[in-house]
Amino acid sequence: MKNILVTGAAGFIGSAFARYMVAKYPHYTVVVFDKLTYAGNLDNLLPIDDEDNYRFERGDIADREAVRAVLKKYDIDTIINFAAESHVDRSILAPDAFVHTDVVGVYILLDEGHKHGIGRFLQVSTDEVYGDIHSGLSVEGDNFLPNSPYAASKAGGELMVRAYHITHGMDTVITRGSNTFGPYQYPEKLLPLFITEALDDRPLPLYGDGKQVRDWLFVEDHVTGIDVALHHGQSGEAYNIAGENQQTNIDVVRAMLDLLGKPHSLIKHVEDRKGHDRRYAMDAAKLRALGWQRGSSFPEALKATVDWYVQNAWWWRKIKSGEYMDYYKRQYADRLGDR
Ligand code: NAD
Ligand code: TDX
């Protein structure tokens, strides 16, 4: 592999992957292709801005001409697709963009990639395609039972990847990551929203009873999981990337507040998310068999994340204005009865 296209890598996980790949594989050219939606942020790529093996191109994965042009310009041989609308609450408020990017966009990338004759296509997917798991662990062959428009759009994208593998023999791999956290995560998701609000002593809107279970995965472990699947995964297969760390939301939020030295009384139980999945949990044995292992423990990773937000207020204070505040009001004003 030489010329890799990493789509959606101005976002949270994609930018961590781009930073990692640029450093680890100096002989690869890493081309980031990103539409720069509200979630795309060139500040996330500043640490590699001056590297010789990094390029940035702005574009939409659902824009056929733009995709064709970037594949040709850099003679791309590998695609890793992170580009997505990624926030469940936004998919409840406004699902159109989810179908556009997570379904149509994946199809256009596959179709143009196939015509261009690329090698491997890796689709970054999610544990949410399995739906609500009351007990046990999801394995890769389980049925899809997505419950939110976000989860359904990601499942649709995955099915298109499968179709291009079966129909056209494309070399595809899918990864399904669990709830990821770490530096540079847009402050709409649970941990970065609550850390940054707590730093300003603002109420933390915990949905329902807060006993929903998520499997918390540090972003660096998600990135190494994708690297392993990219280089060692079998064509046509899917691999779970699990945090192997299932915890209730309320326990995670309390641990975060303790690290910040802020009171638990900041937590406000508010109206629940519609269709809220109670529990996600995956088995990572298939990826482990390829040699992957987590590099961090949850307490260490949570502390590193909290410290990063404390030290990098410049990064998130810039975001918390304009479009962000419009969204915040729409999502939380009635729930919290403020702002
Ligand atoms: P994010 O919302 O932080 O970033 C998404 C990026 O995609 C942004 O840079 C945005 O500008 C870009 N983008 C959106 N639409 C685009 C389009 N049409 N064309 C080109 N670029 C576009 O997302 P994230 O949390 O980093 O998630 C990355 C991927 O990982 C997504 O595919 C998501 O479904 C998946 N995932 C996320 C998690 C998680 O916990 N965050 C867990 C498992 C899987
Ligand atoms: O304000 C909030 N209050 C709250 O109680 C928010 C934003 C979330 N929550 C709860 C809902 C979930 O049970 O916290 C949990 C985590 O919520 P999110 O951070 O929105 O993540 P989730 O919905 O679990 O989805 C995430 O993991 C899978 C990512 O956003 C997806 O992109 C990924 O695919």
- Provide, rounded to the nearest whole percent, the portion of the chain with pLDDT above 70: 99
Which residues, in sequence order, are CB contacts of 118 under 8 Å at separation 6+? 71, 76, 77, 78, 79
Q: Assign residue 281 a region (left: φ > 0; alpha: ψ between -120 and 50; beta: otherwise).
A: beta
pLDDT value of position 85: 98
Q: Is 150 exposed, middle or buried (0-12, 13-18, 19+ CB in 10 A)?
A: buried
Confidence of residue 132 (pLDDT cuts 50, 70, 90): very high
Q: Which bound ligand lies closest to the C-alpha atom of 109? A: 1
Q: Is 14 in the pocket of ligand 1 (CB under 6 A)?
A: yes
Alpha carbon nearest to ligand 2 atom 17, residue = 190
Q: Is residue 281 part of a domain?
A: no
pLDDT value of position 322: 87
DSSP calls for 142-163? SPP---SHHHHHHHHHHHHHHH
Which residues, in sequence order, are CB contacts of 89 under 8 Å at separation 6+? 188, 273, 331
Q: Does the pLDDT at position 339 exceed 60?
A: no
Instruction: Please tell me what DSSP assigns to residue 47.
Output: G
Q: Is residue 143 part of a domain?
A: yes
- The answer to whether 230 touches 223, Cβ cutoff 8 Å, is no
d(CA 175, CA 163): 16
How far, in Å, is the centroid of ligand 2 from the Cα of 88?
A: 7
d(CA 170, CA 113): 9
The range of the structural domain enclosing residue 153 comes to: 3-181+216-241
Alpha carbon nearest to ligand 2 atom 28, residue = 179
d(CA 151, CA 133): 14
pLDDT digits (tens, 9 = 90+) for 87-118: 999 999 999 999 999 999 999 999 999 999 99
Residue 281 CA neighbour count, 13 Å, CB half: 14
Confidence of residue 49 (pLDDT cuts 50, 70, 90): very high
Q: Is residue 289 part of a domain?
A: no
Q: Does the pLDDT at position 302 exceed 50?
A: yes
Q: Is 180 in the pocket of ligand 1 (CB under 6 A)?
A: yes
SS3 132: coil
Q: Is residue 59 part of a domain?
A: yes
How far, in Å, is the centroid of ligand 1 from the Cα of 150?
A: 11
How far, in Å, is the centroid of ligand 2 from the Cα of 83?
A: 18
Residue type, 191: L
pLDDT digits (tens, 9 = 90+) for 239-294: 999 999 999 999 999 999 999 999 999 999 999 999 999 999 999 999 999 999 99
Q: Assign residue 181 a region (left: φ > 0; alpha: ψ between -120 and 50; beta: otherwise).
A: beta
d(CA 283, CA 238): 12
Q: Assign residue 122 a region (left: φ > 0; alpha: ψ between -120 and 50; beta: otherwise).
A: beta
d(CA 89, CA 85): 11
Q: Is residue 97 part of a domain?
A: yes
Q: Does the pLDDT at position 1 exceed 70?
A: no
Number of separate domains in the chain: 1
pLDDT digits (tens, 9 = 90+) for 163-177: 999 999 999 999 999
pLDDT digits (tens, 9 = 90+) for 36-46: 999 999 999 99
Active-site choice (34, 127, 197, 215): 127
DSSP calls for 49-117? TT-TTEEEEE--TT-HHHHHHHHHHTT--EEEE--S---HHHHHH--HHHIIIIIIIHHHHHHHHHHHT
Closest CA to 2 of 66, 61, 55, 81: 55
Q: Is 32 in the pocket of ligand 1 (CB under 6 A)?
A: no
Q: Is residue 332 part of a domain?
A: no
CATH number at residue 224: 3.40.50.720
Q: Does the pLDDT at position 139 exceed 90?
A: yes
Among 12, 102, 176, 193, say which to mutate for ligand 1: greatest number of ligand atoms within 8 Å of CB: 12
Q: Is residue 224 part of a domain?
A: yes
pLDDT digits (tens, 9 = 90+) for 56-74: 999 999 999 999 999 999 9
Element (H, E) at 223: helix 219-232
Q: Is residue 111 part of a domain?
A: yes
